[in-house]
Amino acid sequence: MSGTSLDGVDAALVNFLPDNPVKLIGSHYLPYSADLKHRLLDLHQTQPDELHLAHVMAQELAELYAQAVKGLLEKTGILSSQVSAIGCHGQTIRHQPQSGYTVQLVDASRLTESTGITTIVDFRSRDIAAGGQGAPLVPAFHSAVLSSARENRVIVNIGGIANLTNLPCNGQVTGFDCGPGNILMDAWVLHHLGKSIDESGVWAAAGKVLPELLGRLLTHEFFALPPPKSAGREQFNLHWLQGFLNGSEALEDVQATLLELTVVSIVKAAQNHCMGFDALYVCGGGVHNTTLMNRLAELAGKPVHSTFSLGIDPDWMEAMAFAWLARQCLEGQPGNLPAVTGASGPRILGAIYPA
C-alpha cells in the first residue's frame, strides 16, 4: 500500500485461516525519497510529456514495491513460492470517478517479473465501471474482520484523506471519505518547516484555531455531499488552502485550524451518518498525532481508541486490506460494498498478472 500521504510503501504479509480470519505475519516499510515524492506530486497536475513520465514512474514504483516485498520476505523467512499473491494498490495520481476513471501507477508485469509472485492490481476500476466511486475499498475489509454483535463501531482511517466505516451491530455497513485527514497538515508543515509531518501534532498544539478560517474551509462543497463519496488531492491541496488565507495568519494557527478541520469533519460525518455509534477506532498515520486524537475524543464525546485494541495494528490496516482484496479476487469473491462505493452491485475487483 502507498497512499495519498506519499510517505512510502507499506508491505504486510498476511495469512487467512478458517479459525483466524486475518493474521499479520510480518511487515516492512520503505520510505519515498524526497525526489520521488516531488515527482509524484508533479504528476498530479497536467504537464508536458506526462504520459511518458507516468509510465516511467510506474516502472520505478514497481521496482520499489518489489524491493519492499523482498525485504518483507527476508525479514519473515518466507519464500516467494509460499505466497499466493501480491495485492498492490499502486500510487494514485488521478481519482476522477465522476469522469469514469481512476489512475494508480504501477507496472504490474514488472512487479510480477521481479518477485516471481502473482500480482493483483487495479482494484478500483471495476467498481467505477459499475457506477461506483471506486473508493473507499477498505470498509469491506473492516466489515469482514472488525464487526461486533455487541458494539456499534466506527472505524476511522486517518491517512492523507480520512474515511469512516460504520459497523452497526444490526443493519447495513456503510462507509465513505469524509474529508482531509493528514493531507493539508502535512502540506502546510512541509511548505513552512520542511518537515514531512507535524510530529504528535506539537506545532498545531502551539497555535490556536481561527474560527473564521475554519468556517470558510468547511464551505467546501464536498462536506455537504451525501455518501457515497470519495476525495483526494483534487479536492484538498495547498493551492486550495492558500486561496482562503490573507497572509497575516500565524503559521501555527493555520496548522491548528487544519487539525480542527480534520477533527470536525470526522465527528460531523460520524454524527450525521453513523447514528448511535458507541466508539471510534482509529487507524492510519493520524493515530500517532496525539493532539488530533485528544481533540477527536473531546469533540466526539465517545470513546476513541486505536485499532490495536481490536487486534489490528493501525499502521498496517490498509496494507492488510489489500492482501484481503487480493484473496477475494483469487477466490472469485466480491471486494466492494455497493452501499459504500455506490456501485450497482457486488463486483470481483482486480486484474491478475500470473507468475
- Farthest-apart Cα atoms in the chain, separation: 59
Task: Please state, in angstroms and rounded to a whole number, the distance separating the CA atoms of residues 171 and 169.
Answer: 7
First to last CA, the chain: 20
- Residue 295 makes CB contacts below 8 A (sequence gap 6+) with 259, 260, 263
Task: Please state, in angstroms and rounded to a whole number, the distance separating the CA atoms of residues 123 and 16.
Answer: 19
Q: What is the mean pLDDT of the segment spanning 310-325?
A: 97
Task: Please state, in angstroms and rounded to a whole number, the distance separating the CA atoms of residues 338 and 128.
Answer: 11
Residue 20 has pLDDT above 80, yes or no: no
Q: What is the mean pLDDT of the segment spanning 207-225?
A: 98
Q: What is the mean pLDDT of the segment spanning 47-66?
A: 96
Residue 193 has pLDDT above 80, yes or no: yes
Cross-sheet strand order for the sheet of 174-180: 174-180, 161-167, 153-158, 279-283, 304-306
Q: CA nearest 262: which of 342, 315, 186?
A: 186
DSSP-derived secondary structure for 193-210: H--SS-GGGHHHHTS---
How do residues 245-259 score in pLDDT, each as one tens digit? 999 999 999 999 999
At 14 the three-state DSSP class reads: strand
- Residue extents of the structural domains in the chain: 8-133+316-353, 138-310
How do residues 157-167 score in pLDDT, each as one tens digit? 999 999 999 99
β-strand pairing of 279-283 with 153-158: parallel
Q: In the prediction, which pLDDT does 276 show?
A: 94
Residue 227 has pLDDT above 80, yes or no: yes
Looking at residue 32, what DSSP letter applies?
P
Residue 19 has pLDDT above 80, yes or no: no
How do residues 62-100 score in pLDDT, each as one tens digit? 999 999 999 999 999 999 999 999 999 999 999 999 999
Task: Please state, in angstroms and rounded to a whole number, the distance separating the CA atoms of residues 178 and 160.
Answer: 11
Q: In the prediction, which pLDDT does 275 show?
A: 93
Q: In the prediction, which pLDDT does 240 show?
A: 97
pLDDT band for position 21 (cuts 50, 70, 90): confident
Looking at residue 283, what DSSP letter applies?
E
Same fold, 8-133+316-353 and 138-310: yes
Q: What is the dihedral of CA 55, 56, 60, 66, to 10 degrees?
A: 40
Q: Phi, psi (5° rounding) for residue 97?
A: -60, -30
pLDDT band for position 318 (cuts 50, 70, 90): very high
State the CATH class of domain 138-310.
alpha beta
The DSSP element (H or E) to which 162 belongs, if any, is strand 161-167
Task: Please state, in angstroms and rounded to a whole number, the distance separating the CA atoms of residues 72 and 88.
Answer: 14
Mean pLDDT across the chain, nearest whole number?
A: 96
pTM of the predicted structure, to 2 decimals: 0.94
- CATH among 3.60.20.10, 3.30.420.40, 2.30.42.10, 3.20.20.70 for 8-133+316-353: 3.30.420.40
Q: In the prediction, which pLDDT does 146 show?
A: 96
How do residues 115-154 score in pLDDT, each as one tens digit? 999 999 999 999 999 999 999 999 999 999 999 999 999 9
